[in-house]
Chain A
């Protein structure tokens, strides 16, 4: 019976988001259909662009890598009941700090440069999110608002530094920092065009899963998220938990920014702010803040992003159509929360 019960709730956690996704695809099809394009063409090109060929699979996986990491930035604090939406800011700060670190050691061996960049990037991202966590705990400032304000501040800082103190004088049209050098770039997974950032993301998600669900630390975090007064009564140090979890969460987004520099761009500029941090929020909510579920969901959302180019070329849809679809998915997923516990068959199994 216990197994049937667990299977029934697992089925619900898969069934409800799947229904929400299906519903949003239908809505998006209708939305595009209004402008005179065939919804069937739309679904065909979306599949083609995301998972249809080996080329599109590689594009999808390359986009999934930063999404896994930025989704963890929202999913980990969510265990403590915090809604952090500032992953984009931590990503940019991580990228900027990592680039600075990489440029500061021109003669070091590539492995040392890469490791230092990852460490510095993770630390910078972590500090950025710890700010929100600390403000919430010590000053009672709402963490959702403070983390988004910090995104705007991070964008301004990035623009300022990239156009001022760290600008490469030869970058005329698109102000950028100097290049970290081809030798320092992280390569691709053998046999593919997908960089090692994907492996880093998958490992990070698995480690976070173990940390949250199979350690006393994770248990303490989930207790505090469930009932903060109970957590205080049993003597948990809630403030310390918040700071550590926010540090790890921000470090994940910082790593996302670092791999964008060290595996894709090679330098820091405004190209880094393409919204991986915001899509990551959606990934986290769709995965119900479960680090393992984040991996397939990030691949799915990476695929939707990857199909944008094909939709533009073949159907003449604006590039913002992906944003519209993401918005529809987000709304449907949140609305679907109301469906849990409303399936009579599953309820009977669970009882």
Chain B
């Protein structure tokens, strides 16, 4: 039963908690995709990677008893899917957008196939750090149960921004994304750079998936992700390929996705499904506002097929 003394204040509190909890997969997928797209290639298949990461993380945690090994396994599964995308894309005449769609279907199918026996058993979950000790209100306490993966993601965003701007690795990556010819002239193999970037992106998306199955909602089933991975890819465009903006956008999307459950917790059940569609509608509206038919997006890597 909802705490009546708080009334509708529960909605913003639940949305704040939701923003922190629900945003983590968005954050990891978008940071990963940010790396991949900065190298000049788009991987639309991260939805499949996310689901595959969720399944392999859950399976590993169940078999070994260690959720942290699960996170690692999820990352490796994601990196392998990313490697597959990059390897096939490096063949001449292969379209990276279409291949991403194929990998989205393949990744979810494979995860459902291998994850069939995992729907019943319970695997050890990731622990949470309690930041709400100062408060007496149970809802505030619940909202501030923060997972360590979220903190890693928060630290990763500025780190990536710095790496893009100020490291050799970042410069080479961006060169491949802005002009494949320039990278080639500098003596770098563009395919090799993009392979590593796509595998890193896949690794992060896989880790994001393990958060879904090992922390929130915290179990494995076939309805675990309904487009979070894909929305996160769109979010990178909105964030203008800037890791810090990805962080902000992830929080916004987390809050939007938490709207439905938050309203339900105060007894508003009308239009539950419509509120659940908020992140998708929000993505669409943001894209309509920020895109323009007359010019390329500011900050878009010049080699990127999707904005050409």
Interface residues of A (CB under 8 A from B): 83, 85, 135, 137-142, 144-146, 148-150, 152-153, 155-157, 159-160, 163-164, 278, 281-282, 285, 318, 320-328, 330-331, 333-335, 337-338, 340
Contact = CB atoms under 8 A, between A and B. Distances in A.
Given A159-B273, A320-B109, A150 B284 contact: yes
Given A85-B101, A318-B116, 18 more contacts: A139-B287, A144-B44, A145-B234, A145-B287, A149-B227, A152-B280, A153-B280, A156-B273, A156-B276, A157-B277, A320-B109, A321-B113, A327-B109, A330-B106, A331-B88, A335-B88, A335-B99, A338-B92
Smallest CB-CB A-B distances: 8 pairs: A327-B106, A323-B109, A156-B277, A320-B112, A330-B102, A140-B293, A338-B91, A159-B273
B147 to A, nearest CB: 25
Contact of B112 (A149, A282, A285, A323): A323
A153 B92 CA distance: 36
B102 A331 contact: yes
Given A145-B234, A152-B277, A327-B102, A139 B112 contact: no
Main secondary structure of the interface of B (DSSP, over half): helix
B93 interface: yes
23 contacts: A83-B97, A83-B98, A139-B292, A139-B293, A140-B291, A140-B293, A144-B101, A144-B306, A145-B233, A145-B237, A149-B227, A150-B284, A157-B274, A160-B272, A282-B105, A320-B110, A322-B109, A324-B106, A327-B102, A327-B103, A327-B109, A334-B98, A337-B95
A148 B46 CA distance: 14
Nearest to A331: B102
A166 to B, nearest CB: 13
Contact of B94 (A149, A152, A334): A334
Contact of A334 (B99, B226, B273): B99
A131 to B, nearest CB: 9
B98 A338 contact: no
Contacts of B97: 83, 144
Contacts of A157: 273-274, 277
Contacts of B284: 141, 146, 149-150, 153
Interface of B: 44, 84, 88, 91-95, 97-99, 101-103, 105-110, 112-113, 116, 226-227, 230-231, 233-234, 237, 270-274, 276-277, 280-281, 283-284, 287-288, 291-294, 306-307
Contacts of B230: 145, 148-149
Nearest to B276: A156
B288 A139 contact: yes
A142 B280 CA distance: 14
Contacts of B109: 320, 322-327
A327 B110 contact: yes
Nearest to B109: A323
Contacts of B99: 331, 334-335
Contacts of B274: 156-157, 160
A238 B290 CA distance: 23
A144 B105 CA distance: 15
A334 B102 CA distance: 8
A254 to B, nearest CB: 20
B277 A153 contact: yes
Nearest to A330: B102
Nearest to A159: B273
A285 B97 CA distance: 12
B91 A327 contact: no
A271 to B, nearest CB: 15
A140 B277 contact: no
A155 B273 CA distance: 9
Contacts of B44: 144
Nearest to B117: A318
A79 B38 CA distance: 29
A148 B112 CA distance: 21
B156 to A, nearest CB: 24
B287 A327 contact: no
A337 B226 CA distance: 30
Nearest to B92: A338
Contacts of B107: 327
